[in-house]
Structure 1
Amino acid sequence: MKGMKDMLQHFTYKPMFGDGRLPGWTFSFLYKNTRYSGDYKQDGTIAWTGDTPPDEEQVKKMIHELMTFHVYE
């Protein structure tokens, strides 16, 4: 079981444009006590707007799961 420090905390997202139209969303979260942010594009690619988190591939999987749950369902 993963500890809380290995999970994304305080995950927030919003459309890139105020009217909600695509091409994507901006997001931010805490991971291992550090804040990260980026853009989640319509095709699922992630562009970090600051530092890249450690364990980037693991973090990307968690973001994809959260975005699929919140945006597409």
Structure 2
Amino acid sequence: MITHFQWRPLFKQSTLPGWRISFHFNGSRYEGIYHKNGQIEWGTVMPPSEQEDVIASQIHELMLFHVYD
């Protein structure tokens, strides 16, 4: 489960798409860039490949709730 989810625009001009995201999952901290097409560009720490789809799905739901609502 994702905890401590945070997001902020990539650019000061908020009309340009893209957001920096950070969160914790199973005790590890992750960060990356969420693009407007739903692609996630991971930072220095990548989630385990077997959990990446689960994490991406949860992030998509959170972004729909917070950004696109």
Question: TM-score of the superposition, structure 1-length normalised?
Answer: 0.86
Find out whether 1:71 has 2:67 as its counterpart.
yes
- Where in structure 1 do 4 or more consecutive aligned residues deviate above 4 Å? none
1:61 aligned residue (33, 57, 62): 57
CA drift of 1:15 comes to: 0.4
Kindly report which structure 2 residues correspond to 1:5-20, keeping only aligned pairs within 5 A, or say none.
7-20=1-14
Q: State the Cα deviation string for residues 10-43 of structure 1 (Å, max 9, x = none).
A: 0000000112122310000011111000000011
Percent identical: 45
Structure 2's unaligned 5+ residue stretches are none
Map of 1:4 onto structure 2: none
1:27 aligned residue (10, 18, 21): 21
- Give SS of 2:67's match: helix
Whole-Å Cα distance in 2 between the matches of residues 65 and 10 of structure 1? 15
Read off the aligned partner of 2:68 and give its amino acid letter.
Y
CA RMSD, Structure 1 to Structure 2 (Å): 0.9
2:34 aligned residue (26, 36, 40): 40
Read off the aligned partner of 1:25 and give its amino acid letter.
W
The number of residue pairs the alignment matches comes to 67
